[in-house]
Amino acid sequence: MSLSSFVFSPLVALALCMLTANFSLVLARMPAVEPAGITFYVLRVVYPEGEKKGVTLTAYNKTSGPFLMQSWIRPVEMATGNVDLTTTGLPTMPLIVTPPLARLEAKGELTLRIRRNGEPLPADRESVFFISMKAIPAQDPSDKTGQTGTMVLTLVNNLKVFYRPQGLARRAVADVATQLRFRREGNRLIASNPTPYWLTFSRLIVGEHALDKEQLRLMVPPKGQQSYVLPAGNSASVAWQLIDEDGWDTPVEERPL
């Protein structure tokens, strides 16, 4: 499960509209608040094939206590776009995480490395996985009997990992957003993706109706298509934005439907 004490977002600059100059001065003097918890300053990981030693991901512990971190690669459940929780070790994942188990000290950081193993991957398109990171808080060493009645919660966060084979650009999502094509089939919206990249919508609006977060989790596969439920009402046009490599929204695109 994922809990709110985990903070998983890029550092975002907040533009504050001040009502008065004095109010602005007071806010300027206030120190920036660093969020507590275990923080990753990325929303996704892009792994180019050219990185022969793999890519790294750093966890920052903003709390006053240590954690035991367990990390591993999981597949995506294509029917929902979420982590596939039904897998029991098969098929073998083509990526591994090291160290798979490590201690993350209080106010410290831990660098994880994601790299290939010998399992094959497509050479003409991107592949997508999740890296799951379970944080187990340290228990009070004075409690040797376990009879204090304290409940220990394990926190799990999942980040997408996109593996890009040789020949695919390191940054491409914003450039290929215009290549998406849409059509209606009954009460379904079909999004076709001719590119070799997995594409994820941050917004998808049909007519005047925005699709909900559950539908937006459904990625459009490379050189494939995805189906979405069409909202009731006018659907003469479709507008969309994608999530780029840094977790930002691409510019708005709009087409007649």
What is the tens place of the pLDDT at every residue in 111-137?
999 999 989 999 999 999 999 999 999
pLDDT for position 7: 40
Give residue 232's pLDDT band: very low, low, confident or very high (50, 70, 90): confident
Residue with tokens 């340290």: 138
DSSP 13: -
Highest mean pLDDT among 23-27, 92-96, 221-225 belongs to: 221-225
Please provide the CATH number assigned to the domain covering 173-256: 2.60.40.10
Class of domain 7-164: mainly beta
Lowest mean pLDDT among 39-53, 66-80, 148-162, 186-200: 148-162
Distance (Å, whole) CA 152 – CA 6: 16
**Residues near 153 by Cβ (< 8 Å), separated by ≥ 6?**
3, 137
Could you tell me whether strands 55-61 and 67-74 are parallel, antiparallel, or unpaired per DSSP bridges?
unpaired
List the domain boundaries for the chain. Answer: 7-164, 173-256
pLDDT at 25 > cutoff 50: no
pLDDT of the residue at 78: 92
The closest of 234, 236, 240 to 256, measured between CA atoms, is: 236
Contact yes or no for 4/29 (Cβ under 8 A) = no
**Which range has the worst mean pLDDT, 10-19, 87-96, 150-159?**
10-19
| pLDDT at position 28 | 37
28 vs 158, more confident: 158
Neighbour tally for 85: CB within 10 Å: 9
> What band does 1 get if pLDDT is binned at 50, 70 and 90?
very low
> Is 173-256 in the same CATH topology as 7-164?
yes
DSSP string across 36-56: PSEEES-SEEEEETT-TT-EE
Rounded Cα distance, 124 and 36, in Å: 41
Query: Looking at the predicted structure, is the pLDDT value of residue 143 above 90?
Result: no
Tally of CB atoms within 10 A around 29: 7
